[in-house]
A and B are shown apart, each in its own frame.
Chain A
Amino acid sequence: MCDHDAAMSRPAGMTRRQFIRSVIATGVVSFSVPLLPARGGAAARTAPGTVERLVTLTVNGMRRRVDVLPNETLAQTLRGKLGLTGVKVGCDRAECGACTVLVDDVPVYSCSTLTHSVLGKAILTVEGLASPGGELHPLQQGVLDEQGFQCGYCAPGFLMTALGYLKTNPDPTRQQLAHGVSGNLCRCQDYDKILTGLLRGAEYMRRG
Chain B
Amino acid sequence: MPTDAALFTPNLTGRDYTTPDLRAKLTGAARYAEDFRAEGMLACRLLTSPMPHARVARLDTRAAQGMPGVRAILTADELPPPADSVADSGATIKASPWAEPALSMEPLHQGAPVLAVAAVDDATAVAAIEAIEIEFAPLPFVTDPLDSLRPGGPDARTGGNVWLPPARAGEQAAVGRLKWTDEDFRAAGPGRLPMGKAAAEWSYGDVEAGFRQSALVLDESFVTPNVSHQALETRSTLAWWENGKLFLAAGTQSTIQTVPAIARWLNMDPKDIVFLSEYTGGGFGGKITASVSVIIPALLSRKANAPVMLRVTREEEQYIGRARPSLAGRMKAGFSPEGRLLALDLFVVQDNGPYEQQHDAAIAGRMGSLLYQPQAMRWRGVPVLTNTPVRGAQTAPGGLQVSAFMGPLLAKAARRLNLDPLDVCRINAPAGRAPVGPPRPDGTLNAATSAFVREALDKGAQAFRWGERRARPADAGTVRRGIGVATGCFVAGTVGFDGLFVITPEGRLRIHCGVGNLGTESFSDVQRVLADAMDVPWEACEILWGNTARHLPWSCISGGSQTIHSMSRAALAAALDARRKLVGIAAATLGGVPEDYDVGGGRVFRRGDGRGLSLGEAARRAIELGGAYDGHECPDDVHGMTRTAVAALAGQGLVAVARDAFPRDGQSYSYVAAFAEVELDTETGMYRITDFHAEADAGRVVHPRAFGGQMVGRSMLGIGHATTQKWFYDTRYGLPVAKRFHQTRPPTILSMPERFTWGAVGIPDPQTPVGARGIGEPPTGAACAAVLCALAHAMGDDAFIRAPVMADAVLAAMEPENGKNRANRPRGLSANV
Interchain CB contact under 8 A, B748 and A182: yes
In the complex, whether B231 has a CB less than 8 A from a CB of chain A is yes
State which residues 147-191 of A face B: CB under 8 Å. Answer: 147, 149-156, 159, 178-179, 181-182, 184-191
Interchain CB contact under 8 A, B519 and A150: yes
Report the stretch among A25-33, A37-45, A51-59, A121-129 that lies at the interface: A121-129
In the complex, whether B708 has a CB less than 8 A from a CB of chain A is yes
In the complex, whether B441 has a CB less than 8 A from a CB of chain A is no
Residue of B nearest to A127 (CB): B28
In the complex, whether B86 has a CB less than 8 A from a CB of chain A is no
Interchain CB contact under 8 A, A149 and B233: no
Q: Which of B25, B283, B712, B750 contacts A178 (CB 8 A)?
A: B750
Q: In the complex, what residues of B have CB within 8 A of residue A92's CB?
A: 313-314
In the complex, whether A136 has a CB less than 8 A from a CB of chain B is yes
If A125-B28, A130-B27, A190-B712 touch, whether A153 touches B232 (CB-CB below 8 Å) is yes
Q: Which of A88, A155, A185 contacts B746 (CB 8 A)?
A: A185
Interchain CB contact under 8 A, A84 and B232: no
In the complex, whether A95 has a CB less than 8 A from a CB of chain B is yes
- Distance A87 CA – B279 CA, assembled complex (angstroms): 15
In the complex, whether B29 has a CB less than 8 A from a CB of chain A is yes
Report the stretch among B14-22, B294-302, B619-627, B641-649 that lies at the interface: B14-22
- Contact flags (1/0) for B269-281 with A, using CB distance below 8 Å? 0000000000111
Q: Which of A90, A147, A153 contacts B16 (CB 8 A)?
A: A147
Q: In the complex, what residues of A have CB within 8 A of residue B26's CB?
A: 126, 136, 140, 143-144, 149, 152, 155-156, 159
Interchain CB contact under 8 A, B749 and A178: yes
Interchain CB contact under 8 A, B717 and A189: yes
- Contact flags (1/0) for B1-40 with A, using CB distance below 8 Å? 0000000000000001011011101111111101101000
Interchain CB contact under 8 A, B749 and A153: no
Q: In the complex, what residues of B have CB within 8 A of residue A91's CB?
A: 314, 740-741
Interchain CB contact under 8 A, A189 and B279: no
Interchain CB contact under 8 A, B749 and A181: yes
If A96-B232, A178-B749 touch, whether A153 touches B712 (CB-CB below 8 Å) is no
Q: In the complex, what residues of A have CB within 8 A of residue B748's CB?
A: 182, 185
Interchain CB contact under 8 A, B314 and A182: no
Q: In the complex, what residues of A have CB within 8 A of residue B283's CB?
A: 151
- Distance A192 CA – B518 CA, assembled complex (angstroms): 18
Interchain CB contact under 8 A, B27 and A86: yes
In the complex, whether A68 has a CB less than 8 A from a CB of chain B is no
Q: In the complex, what residues of A have CB within 8 A of residue B538's CB?
A: none
Q: In the complex, what residues of A have CB within 8 A of residue B281's CB?
A: 88, 90, 151-153
Q: Which of B18, B27, B35 contacts A147 (CB 8 A)?
A: B18
In the complex, whether B520 has a CB less than 8 A from a CB of chain A is yes
- Contact flags (1/0) for B258-292 with A, using CB distance below 8 Å? 00000000000000000000011111100000000
Interchain CB contact under 8 A, A193 and B709: yes
In the complex, whether B440 has a CB less than 8 A from a CB of chain A is no
If A147-B22, A150-B519, A187-B282 touch, whether A192 touches B35 (CB-CB below 8 Å) is no
- Distance A88 CA – B30 CA, assembled complex (angstroms): 11
In the complex, whether A113 has a CB less than 8 A from a CB of chain B is no
If A95-B741, A193-B705 touch, whether A152 touches B28 (CB-CB below 8 Å) is no
In the complex, whether A203 has a CB less than 8 A from a CB of chain B is no
In the complex, whether A194 has a CB less than 8 A from a CB of chain B is yes
Residue of A nearest to B32 (CB): A153
Residue pairs across A and B with CB atoms within 8 Å: the count is 161
- Distance A166 CA – B518 CA, assembled complex (angstroms): 29
Q: In the complex, what residues of B have CB within 8 A of residue A179's CB?
A: 750
- Distance A143 CA – B740 CA, assembled complex (angstroms): 29
Q: Which of B230, B521, B742 contacts A187 (CB 8 A)?
A: B230
If A178-B750, A181-B749, A185-B746 touch, whether A152 touches B705 (CB-CB below 8 Å) is no
- Distance A147 CA – B713 CA, assembled complex (angstroms): 14
In the complex, whether A207 has a CB less than 8 A from a CB of chain B is no
State which residues 81-126 of A face B: CB under 8 Å. Answer: 83-93, 95-96, 98, 125-126
- Distance A145 CA – B705 CA, assembled complex (angstroms): 11
Interchain CB contact under 8 A, B712 and A189: yes
- Contact flags (1/0) for A10-44 with B, using CB distance below 8 Å? 00000001000000000000000000000000000
Interchain CB contact under 8 A, A151 and B741: no
Interchain CB contact under 8 A, B750 and A188: no
For residue A196, give the distance in angstroms from its CB to the closest CB of chain B: 9
11 extra interface residue pairs, beta carbon distance < 8 Å, beyond A95-B741, A152-B281, A194-B749: A85-B34, A90-B232, A143-B26, A144-B23, A150-B713, A151-B232, A152-B26, A189-B717, A189-B720, A189-B746, A193-B712
Report 7 cross-chain contacts, Cβ distance below 8 Å, ordered by A residue. A1-B138, A84-B28, A95-B740, A149-B22, A151-B282, A189-B747, A195-B749
